[in-house]
Amino acid sequence: MIEFRNVDFWIGDRQILDDVSFTVPRAQTKVILGPSGSGKSTILRLLIGLWKPDAGAILVDGEDVTRVTPVRLQQIRRRMGIVFQQGALFDSMTVGENVGYTLLEDGDIEEDQIEGTVRSYLSLVGLNTDLVDRMPEELSGGMQRRVAIARALASRDPDILLYDEPTTGLDPQSAERITDLILRLRDTMGKTAIMVTHDIPDAFKVADRITVVDHGRVAFEGTPVELTAADTPFIGEFLAPFRKSVAAASQRVSTRGRRAGDSGLNLGGTS
Amino acid sequence: MIPYTVAVEALLVIGNQLRRLVETVQDVVLFCVTVLKSAFRPPFYRHEILEQVHFALVGSLGIVMFSSLVAGQALAIQLGRELTRTGTKSELGHMMVISVVRALGPVLTGMVVASRMSAGITAELGAMRSSDQIDAMVAFGTDPIKRLVAPRMIGLLIALPVLTILGDALGVIGGGFVGLAYHLPLQSYYNGVYKYLTPSNLLVGMIKPFFFAVLIATVACWKGFTSAGGAKGVGVSTTHSVVISSVGILVTDFICTKLIFRLLQW
């Protein structure tokens, strides 16, 4: 389980996160939702220890990642795979070297075996295995994002996956493939996941629970159904431009019957 | 008369700038120490080191050789004229060794390599920083200092002394051809060269490239790692990197020369 407990974070004299608390139970997908610049991506950077919070605790299975030794932090990171905004693929390496990056770094496995593993992960994310020798810039944005997911999965088979705006800038079809893949990974492999996004339909599609962040503060925490029922001014204002999309996404979730609780969804609007 | 409040404000601004400068120097020194510690401890990224040696050595070879040859000849023209006027043109080889091997060669090679390599390194690492590739490395359990910075420093530590030797050689050889124009036979010129190519003179010239390599790698990688603000930020960092490296080489040259002279009790 992942837990943020009263986390504060400052950059210079600007407060980025203010008393942020939430939990992510094992094998669930938490979506951190909010407008651009609200501090969403900071949450992931704090979780993997790229930055240190000024106050509060960040627990992974009860262990505070802000207080562990660098060696222990490395071990905890090995349990996580992260998909950065825009993929962050290493542009001096081929697709195959990107996906097999951690395996090559560890140096414990023969190169033939690594290539086999790389191909299997490329297949898993729905990519042609012949792409291994291509350079990242030769791929479309959607394909790059799927390579980034394959790289995250291949990184020592992590049980926690972190997605930072995985669908931003993609066409609807590519975005749909990515969110389908995220759902598949949760449902078939039982991965715990945190997805940061400002895209409300995507959030409703993949989330078990949603935390809405506004100006670094948690403005809402609950299920997608509870979010649609929330009537605070910020939530209303935030959801208003997307209400049609929310309705459509929620309707889709409801129709698929993915969760029993979703069947009573009432948006007060039509899709 | 300057009002009291304006004077206090001016002092505060100067104080803040000084504090930031001291903090930056402290950060750069710590970064350099971390890189040096990391560079000589296993595991070594052999492929990356060879790549960087190739990039620095083979990539800079042409421009270093051409610059050294031309600069050596220009220097020999100046010295040849003055020595001929004083009737001591046979000292041209001696003067060329002192000027090229001790001073001009290492600085010229350092400047050429600094302008080429620091721009390339800062731009590459800055682009990696702005596209989250460095953070991705950390997230996947790799130490970016070891993976990215140490190979660049080792690459420069190998390439720069070799380039300096080649540059010095071409500068001195170029001087020999200029000597012919002043009716100084090559044999006489090279006698002067060999006579003054002493271990002390070589030490003065050959110790500098190692300091220059550490300086160029530290400044270029530091500026790349701390680059912010997208493409414009990378551009600014790259410019700063070239300027700081180039000025740093001149300052380091002065300090090294002073220290070595004291060491050799000259």
Over its C-alpha atoms, chain A yields an Rg (Å, rounded) of 19
The highest-confidence range among A109-113, A248-252, A267-271, B159-163, by mean pLDDT, is: B159-163
CB-nearest to B139 from A77, A85, A107 is: A77
Which residue of B lies nearest to A154 if distances are taken between CA atoms?
Answer: B140
Residues in chain A within 8 Å Cβ distance of B136: 82, 84, 88, 90
What are B98's two structure tokens? 């002192």
Distance CA A134, CA A115 (A): 14
**Please, which pLDDT band fits residue A74 given cuts at 50, 70 and 90?**
confident
Q: pLDDT at position A155, please? A: 79
What is the reported pLDDT for B110? 96
Query: What residues in A contact B142, CB-CB < 8 Å?
Result: 105
User: Scanning every residue of chain B, which has its alpha carbon at the shortest distance from the alpha carbon of A151?
Assistant: B140
Rounded average pLDDT over B20-46: 89
pLDDT per position as a tens digit, A229-257 = 887 888 888 777 666 665 666 666 677 66
pLDDT digits over B135-168, tens only?
999 998 888 999 999 999 999 999 999 999 999 9
- What pLDDT is stored for residue A208 in this prediction? 94
- The per-residue pLDDT for A259 is 55
Token pair for B21 = 């400068």
A7-21 average pLDDT score: 94
Mean pLDDT of the residues in chain A: 86
Percent of chain A with pLDDT over 90: 48
A102 touches chain B (CB under 8 A): yes
Interface test with A, best of B23, B44, B140, B152 (most A CBs within 10 A): B140
To 5 degrees, how large is the angle CA B65–CA B70–CA B75? Answer: 125
Tell whether the model's pLDDT for residue B55 goes beyond 50.
yes
- B43 falls in which pLDDT band (50, 70, 90)? confident
Q: Verify whether the Cβ–Cβ distance A78 to B133 is below 8 Å.
A: no
The answer to whether A179 touches A227, Cβ cutoff 8 Å, is: no
Average pLDDT, integer, range B214-239 = 94
Touching check for A41 and chain B: CB below 8 Å? Answer: no
Residues 6+ apart with CB under 8 A from B253: B103, B106, B107, B110, B208
Mean pLDDT score, B66-70:
95
Mean residue pLDDT of chain B comes to 92
Predicted confidence at residue B112, as pLDDT, reads 95
Task: Work out the minimum CA distance from B85 to partner chain A, whole angstroms.
Answer: 58
pTM: 0.82
Q: Mean pLDDT, to the nearest integer, of A45-58? A: 95
